[in-house]
């Protein structure tokens, strides 16, 4: 259906006007100036001639078939206009008109009615409150928007949630040395949104990369499903605005306090294979790289320069991104020595020295590009000895044209006039002012390469004791408690097959001693309370208890301290646990974002979690590949590998812990927060053991899902 909008054979401009500098006038002019290949029908109640074409008083008067209606009438007339479009058999709408949900409640109701009609009539609608649509394909040539400049031809599909921003970008495409294949300003995205565009462009050969400017993601699950599939075929770059912490920021758990709306968006984009940029400058710099470079076969970079200093800085930038400096073969070095001066360095970075003529640039690039050890090449030029920058660029592009299979990026540290000249040329490689920009471009190419080679991943299902987990949660809910006690939380984790400490529960001194003696010393004693969740803050955790006598003393002291602080009434009892020896404390958790849903966290845990913040997030459900990447992405991974002779952690067991947590929150999506802190890595076995746990649910939602009562006084009898 989107083809009626993006590849129309005929367009009705409803609200076309003869009045200069109005949207109805500008749309007509742009369609004609860009030489739209189909028929254009201006519609205006006064009729007459508009831009040399016969105007019709309403859309029903148009003699031919119409694929797309571009609507620019006052908001109060839009619904009637859509009715007429339906009568005419029009299936594609682009509603430029503003005055809908962006204006408040009344506008929102109007937009709701608009969408209802669009769905009822089987139409597709871009907008309302948008800039319009563009398709530069020669057989279409449609500029259906009111930006000042005509679009530049290229192979980028661009979706913008902001009309003004989209218009500004269309105006500077020539300066950016970029062109669009198609452009959609989605505006209020009542119907067509970024996901619609992604799906439409998936198999559009003319769209070779997709750019997104988004302020919100309407359906995160669907976006993930589409983007993760499409990004395997072509790059998707996104500028996601609105990075301030929100959503889960007010949560009380460690996971929740470290989470936020932007971390959720970042996790979603990461898992979808979308390359996220944080500025328009970087968005279009990366787009320029993908527009002119193939995906490399590896991450080995060669640097060609006429100055040592910039070559060294470029090397630093490449290495900081984790890419490799290519090992130039002896054969390549020998060939380079045959024409370069003796003062030149043929090791990577290859320094041709300041006196290098244009011919050396051509010969060196041609030699290095043929080296099988090289995947990407950076060519650095600084102005010396009267060489003209534009002449060097032409020479380099000439060689690049002969060898299109490897990415080549030029770094020309010269006057800005050079880049202005490039905007008037047909370039076949990207040029930047600084080596760091080129290294960033190579990193993005490599990121796309790794994603395209990344295994799909599987979401496993484990055998768990759901009955036990539900029984525990129902008990808490029946008492009106959203926060499960420590004992309840650990028991839920145990029911889901997560390795927890050997433990026992006690409510008096005799039971405490019996459990301690049964488990064997040393042990840990932890209070579990229905009113106090952070145990360490009140002295509720006692460790390294070596004997029965010490256990008695610690228990008596705990009771005394809680009584003194007025916290004894909430005490449920104490948990006696085996004391697992280990200095490596990790954290696993779940926090729920209002828009994106459950977020999984993994990282360095213990008391420093919120100080060090060495954590990573992913959206649930996790695949096995997601879980593996989470573990490897934190800095503390080096500790898990077994630094300084420590026992290496059982990576597969830790990965399984994350996957079981993902299954838990998938089975019970009303879990709002969950922390395992610490997940202690045993020095003896390398296992990740849940030493402490904390689960909080959304009470009303949980009660509804589990068919439980929340009054706190009965077991469901008052429902």
Q: What is the number of structural domains in the chain? A: 4
Assessment of whether the complete model's pTM goes beyond 0.85: yes
Centroid of chain to Cα 515 = 48
User: Which residues pair with residue 68 across a beta bridge?
Assistant: 11, 92
Rounded distance, CA 277 to CA 282, Å?
6
Closest CA to 671 of 135, 290, 253: 253
pLDDT at 245: 46
Q: 584: how many CB neighbours lie within 10 A of its CB?
A: 23
140 and 191 together in one domain: yes
Pairing assessment for the beta strands 92-95 and 124-126 based on DSSP bridges:
parallel
Q: Is residue 290's pLDDT more than 80?
A: yes
pLDDT at 539: 86
DSSP 271-314: HTT-EEESSHHHHHHHHHHHHH-PPPSSSEEEEEESSHHHHHHH
pLDDT at 251: 41
Which residues lie closer than 8 Å to 494 by C-beta, 6 or more apart? 500
390 and 440 together in one domain: yes
Domain end, chosen from 416, 451, 486, is at 451
Rounded distance, CA 454 to CA 513, Å?
53
Predicted confidence (pLDDT) per residue in 467-508, tens digit: 999 999 999 999 999 999 888 999 999 999 999 988 899 999
195 and 81 together in one domain: yes
Q: Is residue 636's pLDDT more than 80?
A: yes
Q: What is the mean pLDDT of residues 37-64?
A: 96
Q: What is the mean pLDDT of residues 290-307?
A: 98
667, 466 contact by CB (below 8 A): yes
Q: Is residue 320's pLDDT more than 80?
A: yes
**Ranges assigned E (strand) in 546-692:** 571-578, 584-593, 597-604, 615-619, 671-681, 688-690
Q: Is residue 574's pLDDT more than 50?
A: yes
Rounded distance, CA 82 to CA 85, Å?
5
574 and 591 together in one domain: no
| Residue 163 confidence class, pLDDT cut points 50, 70, 90 | confident
360 and 506 together in one domain: no
Q: What is the mean pLDDT of residues 410-415?
A: 96
Describe the chain by its helix, strand, coil percentages, rounded to 5. 40, 20, 35
Predicted confidence (pLDDT) per residue in 539-570, tens digit: 899 999 999 999 999 999 999 999 998 888 88
The answer to the question of residue 199 being in a domain is yes
Predicted confidence (pLDDT) per residue in 232-268, tens digit: 999 999 998 876 544 334 344 554 555 566 888 999 9
User: Which residues pair with residue 426 across a beta bridge?
Assistant: none
The answer to the question of residue 97 being in a domain is yes
Whole domain around residue 570: which residue ranges? 466-578
pLDDT at 260: 60
Q: What is the mean pLDDT of residues 152-180?
A: 91
Predicted confidence (pLDDT) per residue in 101-137, tens digit: 999 999 999 999 999 999 999 999 999 999 999 999 9
569 and 596 together in one domain: no
Domain harbouring 407, CATH code = 3.40.50.261
| Residue 319 confidence class, pLDDT cut points 50, 70, 90 | very high
Domain end, chosen from 558, 578, 598, is at 578
The answer to the question of residue 289 being in a domain is no
Predicted confidence (pLDDT) per residue in 321-346, tens digit: 999 999 999 999 999 999 999 999 99
Domain harbouring 78, CATH code = 3.40.50.720
Predicted confidence (pLDDT) per residue in 6-36, tens digit: 999 999 999 999 999 999 999 999 999 999 9
State the average pLDDT for the chain.
Answer: 93
The answer to the question of residue 247 being in a domain is no
Burial (CB < 10 A; 0-12, 13-18, 19+), residue 544, is exposed
Looking at per-residue pLDDT, the higher value among 10 and 646 belongs to 10
Whole-number percent of the chain with pLDDT over 90: 82
The answer to the question of residue 548 being in a domain is yes
Q: Is residue 464's pLDDT more than 70?
A: yes
Q: What is the mean pLDDT of residues 83-93?
A: 98
- CA separation (Å) from 608 to 254, 605, 612, 613, 621? 11, 7, 6, 8, 27
The answer to the question of residue 253 being in a domain is no
Mean pLDDT is highest, among 428-437, 479-488, 604-613, for: 428-437
535 and 505 together in one domain: yes
| Residue 718 confidence class, pLDDT cut points 50, 70, 90 | low
pLDDT at 528: 87
The answer to the question of residue 261 being in a domain is no
Three-state DSSP class for residue 493: helix
pLDDT at 258: 59
Looking at per-residue pLDDT, the higher value among 151 and 250 belongs to 151
Q: 645: how many CB neighbours lie within 10 A of its CB?
A: 5
pLDDT at 538: 81
Start-to-end C-alpha separation, the chain: 49
The answer to the question of residue 536 being in a domain is yes
pLDDT at 593: 87
557 and 626 together in one domain: no
pLDDT at 580: 86
447 and 487 together in one domain: no
523 and 631 together in one domain: no
Domain end, chosen from 521, 544, 578, is at 578
Looking at per-residue pLDDT, the higher value among 533 and 693 belongs to 693
Domain harbouring 569, CATH code = 3.30.1490.20
634 and 490 together in one domain: no
Q: Is residue 279's pLDDT more than 80?
A: yes
523 and 607 together in one domain: no
| Span of 156-160, 218-222, 313-317, 642-646 with lowest mean pLDDT | 642-646
Three-state DSSP class for residue 394: helix
73, 59 contact by CB (below 8 A): no
Predicted confidence (pLDDT) per residue in 355-383, tens digit: 999 999 999 999 999 999 999 999 999 99
| Residue 676 confidence class, pLDDT cut points 50, 70, 90 | very high
Domain harbouring 596, CATH code = 3.30.470.20
């Amino acid at each position: 259906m989107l083809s009626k909008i993006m590849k129309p054979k005929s367009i009705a401009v409803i609200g076309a006007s003869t009045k200069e500098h109005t949207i109805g006038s500008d749309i007509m002019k742009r369609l004609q100036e860009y030489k739209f290949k189909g028929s254009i029908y201006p519609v205006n109640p006064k009729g007459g001639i508009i831009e040399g074409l016969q105007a019709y008083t309403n859309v029903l008067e148009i003699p031919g078939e119409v694929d797309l209606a571009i609507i620019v009438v006052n908001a109060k007339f839009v619904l009637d206009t859509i009715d007429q479009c339906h009568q005419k058999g029009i299936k594609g709408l682009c509603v430029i008109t503003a005055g809908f949900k962006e204006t408040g409640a009344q506008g929102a109701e109007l937009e709701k009615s608009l969408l209802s009609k669009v769905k009822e009539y089987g139409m597709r609608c871009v907008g309302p409150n948008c800039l319009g649509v563009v398709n530069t394909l020669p057989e279409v040539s449609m500029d259906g928007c009111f930006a000042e400049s005509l679009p530049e031809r290229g192979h980028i599909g661009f979706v913008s949630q902001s009309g003004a921003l989209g218009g500004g970008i269309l105006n500077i495409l020539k300066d950016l040395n970029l062109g669009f294949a198609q452009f959609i300003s989605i505006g209020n995205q009542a119907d067509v949104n970024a996901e619609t565009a992604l799906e439409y462009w998936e198999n559009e050969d003319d769209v070779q990369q997709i750019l997104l400017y988004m302020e919100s993601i309407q359906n995160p699950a669907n976006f993930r499903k589409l983007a993760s599939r499409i990004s395997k075929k072509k790059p998707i770059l996104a500028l996601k605005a609105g990075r301030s912490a929100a959503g889960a920021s007010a949560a009380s758990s460690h996971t929740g306090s470290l989470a936020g709306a932007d971390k959720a968006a970042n996790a979603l984009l990461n898992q979808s294979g979308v390359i996220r940029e944080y500025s328009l400058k970087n968005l279009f710099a990366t787009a320029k790289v993908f527009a002119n470079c193939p995906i490399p076969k590896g991450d080995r970079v060669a640097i060609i320069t006429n100055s040592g200093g910039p070559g060294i800085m470029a090397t630093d930038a490449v290495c900081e991104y984790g890419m490799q400096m290519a090992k130039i073969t002896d054969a390549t070095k020998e060939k380079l020595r045959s024409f370069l001066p003796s003062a030149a360095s043929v090791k990577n970075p290859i320094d041709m020295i300041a006196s290098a003529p244009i011919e050396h640039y051509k010969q060196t690039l041609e030699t290095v590009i043929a080296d099988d050890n090289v995947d990407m090449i950076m060519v650095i030029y600084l102005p010396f000895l009267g060489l003209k920058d534009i002449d060097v660029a032409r020479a380099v592009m000439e060689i690049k044209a002969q060898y299109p299979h490897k990415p080549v990026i030029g770094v020309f540290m010269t006057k800005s006039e050079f880049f202005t000249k490039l905007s008037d040329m047909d370039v076949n490689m990207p040029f930047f002012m600084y080596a760091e920009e080129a290294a960033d471009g190579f990193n993005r190419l490599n990121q796309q390469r790794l994603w395209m080679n990344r295994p799909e991943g599987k979401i496993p299902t484990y055998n768990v004791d759901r009955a036990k987990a539900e029984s525990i949660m129902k008990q808490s809910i029946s008492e009106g408690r959203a926060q499960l006690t420590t004992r309840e939380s650990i028991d839920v984790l145990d029911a889901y097959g997560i390795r927890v400490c050997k433990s026992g529960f006690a409510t008096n001194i005799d039971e405490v001693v019996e459990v301690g003696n049964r488990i064997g010393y040393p042990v840990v004693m932890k209070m579990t309370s229905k009113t106090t969740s952070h145990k360490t803050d009140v002295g509720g955790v006692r460790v390294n208890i070596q004997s029965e006598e010490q256990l008695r003393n610690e228990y008596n002291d705990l009771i005394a301290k809680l009584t003194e602080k007025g916290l004894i009434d909430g005490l449920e009892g104490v948990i006696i646990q085996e004391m697992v020896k280990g200095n490596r404390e990790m954290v696993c958790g779940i926090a729920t974002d209002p828009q994106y849903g459950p977020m999984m966290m993994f990282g360095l845990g213990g008391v420093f979690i919120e100080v060090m913040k060495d954590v990573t997030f992913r959206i649930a459900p996790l695949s096995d590949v997601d879980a593996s990447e989470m573990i490897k992405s934190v800095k503390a991974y080096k500790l898990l590998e077994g630094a300084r002779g420590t026992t290496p952690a059982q990576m597969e067991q830790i990965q399984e812990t994350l996957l079981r947590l993902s299954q838990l929150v998938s089975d019970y999506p009303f879990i709002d927060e969950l922390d395992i802190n610490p997940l202690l890595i045993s020095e003896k076995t390398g296992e990740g053991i849940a030493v402490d746990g904390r689960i909080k649910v959304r009470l009303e939602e949980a009660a509804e899902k589990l068919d439980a009562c929340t009054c706190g006084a009965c077991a469901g009898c008052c429902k």
